């Protein structure tokens, strides 16, 4: 990953630019091994374990998307539940017409992406706090709109058809693989998107929007792309969620349009470390640990999560991965660059 600049003129004295302070070529291999191990899990563990991991995949996917939005795009959305819901409902409607939910899942994600285009047009001129509440209002409006249609369950939701053909073991394995595939795709998409020109554009906007704009960076276009990708990702997560729950419920008890999803994805990102690829992964792990240990205490895990997120925002704003990065200088999934000053470039 070493990018040598005009180093040939003064051998040994030129600055070097690398993706990370430490060489992390091995993370690709480790990531691959982890994915393979996860993919093989349904053959070795009970369905109870994979069901817990299903939840983790949903949160990981959502967290990746929210991190892309808020951490790189500067778009603090509180309305991502709109896309969760749209993804799930497109899947439901397709399933009612005989399309298998597992095929409906990617189609639902695309549907959420299509819906994101007009919604982006509505909110694109708003910034920060106003953007946050406006997305929330939009999500509520989308929910109310969908609840008007009694044929797709109105305000109470419907069971997801097309899943009864699978045996229970096979269904839980398929659900698990769908969740794994979606979250791996989400991570990979965000990673490669940020390593591309778009990532560079977003970094420029984040550092100084006015300067970026005056240098010809298409700020609106880059943000719109981020919004679109996040909508597709959240739509896919909504589909996985609906398959897991075997139903599509709009609001009550973990419904697809509940703002609780946005709270969970945002808190996972903040705790793990916003603006890093590793943050959402770490945040999801912490989220799952909290949720599993506190789940018998009802809503306490959400309260704890909120308090931890507030504390992290105030005292360690780069999150837990930020602390790791500060002390070890490690980026497992480097998307930026590290500049080695000329005097230190001699070191191997």
> In the complex, which residues of this chain contact other proteins (CB under 8 A)?
70, 76, 78, 122, 125-126, 128-130, 132-134, 136-138, 140-141, 144-145, 148, 259-260, 263, 266-267, 270, 274, 298-300, 302-303, 305-307, 309-310, 313-314, 317
Instruction: Please say which residue, 72 or 83, places its beta carbon nearer to other proteins.
Output: 72
For other proteins, give the closer residue by CB, 132 or 178: 132
Residue closer to other proteins, measured from CB, 72 or 102: 72
Q: How far is the CB of 103 from other proteins (least distance, A)?
A: 32
Q: How far is the CB of 348 from other proteins (least distance, A)?
A: 39
User: How many residues would you count in the chain?
Assistant: 348
Q: How far apart are CA 86 and CA 83, in angstroms?
A: 5
Task: Report the nearest approach of other proteins to the CB of residue 52 (Å).
Answer: 22
Radius of gyration of the chain (CA): 21
CB of residue 133 to other proteins, shortest distance in Å: 4
Q: How far is the CB of 338 from other proteins (least distance, A)?
A: 24
> Chain centroid to CA 331: how far?
18
Residue/partner pairs of 322-326 with CB below 8 Å, 24 or more apart: 322/273, 322/276, 322/279, 324/273, 324/278, 325/273, 325/276
3-state secondary structure of 4: strand
Alpha helix (H) ranges present in the chain?
26-40, 47-66, 81-96, 101-123, 128-147, 168-195, 197-207, 209-214, 219-245, 260-272, 278-294, 300-315, 319-328
Comparing CB distances to other proteins, the nearer of 22 and 125 is: 125
Nearer to other proteins (CB atom), residue 239 or residue 255:
255
Other C-beta atoms within 10 Å of 229: how many?
22
Rama region for 125: left / alpha / beta (φ>0; ψ in -120 to 50; rest): alpha
Give the nearest distance from C-beta 91 to other proteins in angstroms: 24
Q: Which is nearer to other proteins, 196 or 252 (CB)?
A: 252
Nearer to other proteins, 268 or 332 (CB): 268
Q: What is the DSSP letter of 341?
A: P
Query: C-beta of 285: minimal distance to other proteins in Å?
Result: 20
Q: CA 302, 235, 270: angle at the middle one, nearest 5?
A: 35
Nearest residue (CB) to other proteins, 187 versus 266: 266
Smallest distance from other proteins to CB 156, Å:
13
Task: Give the span between the Cα atoms of 185 and 62, in whole angstroms.
Answer: 12
Distance of CA 169 to the CA centre of its chain: 28
- Sequence-ordered list of residues with C-beta below 8 angstroms from that of 223, at least 6 positions apart, any chain: 73, 74, 75, 124, 205
């Amino acid at each position: 990953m070493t990018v040598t600049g005009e180093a040939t003129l003064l051998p040994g004295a030129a600055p070097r630019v690398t993706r990370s302070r430490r060489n992390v070529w091995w993370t690709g291999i480790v990531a691959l091994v982890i994915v393979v191990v996860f993919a093989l899990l349904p053959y070795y563990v009970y369905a109870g374990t994979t069901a817990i991991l299903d939840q983790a995949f949903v949160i990981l996917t959502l967290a990746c998307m929210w991190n892309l939005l808020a951490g790189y795009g500067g778009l603090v959305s509180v309305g991502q539940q709109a896309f969760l819901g749209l993804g799930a409902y497109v899947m439901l409607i397709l399933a009612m017409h005989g399309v298998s939910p597992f095929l409906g899942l990617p189609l639902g994600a695309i549907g959420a992406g299509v819906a994101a285009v007009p919604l982006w047009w509505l909110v694109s001129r708003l910034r920060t706090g106003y953007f946050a509440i406006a997305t929330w209002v939009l999500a509520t409006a989308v929910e109310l709109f969908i609840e008007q249609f009694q044929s797709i369950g109105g305000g109470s939701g419907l069971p997801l058809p097309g899943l009864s053909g699978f045996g229970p073991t096979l269904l839980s394995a398929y659900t698990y693989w769908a969740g794994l595939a979606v979250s791996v795709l989400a991570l990979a998409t965000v990673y490669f998107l940020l390593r591309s020109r778009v990532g560079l554009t977003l970094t420029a906007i984040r550092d100084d929007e006015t300067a970026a704009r005056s240098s010809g960076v298409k700020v609106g276009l880059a943000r719109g792309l981020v919004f679109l990708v996040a909508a597709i990702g959240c739509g896919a997560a909504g589909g996985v969620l609906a398959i897991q729950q075997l139903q599509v419920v709009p609001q009550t008890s973990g419904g697809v349009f509940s703002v609780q999803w946005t709270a969970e994805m945002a808190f996972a990102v903040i705790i793990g470390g916003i603006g890093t690829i590793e943050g959402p992964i770490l945040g999801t792990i912490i989220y799952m640990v909290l949720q599993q240990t506190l789940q018998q205490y009802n809503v306490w895990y959400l309260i704890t999560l909120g308090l931890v997120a507030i504390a992290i925002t105030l005292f360690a704003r780069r999150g837990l991965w930020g602390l790791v990065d500060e002390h070890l200088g490690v980026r497992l999934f480097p998307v930026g660059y590290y500049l080695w000053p000329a005097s230190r470039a001699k070191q191997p």
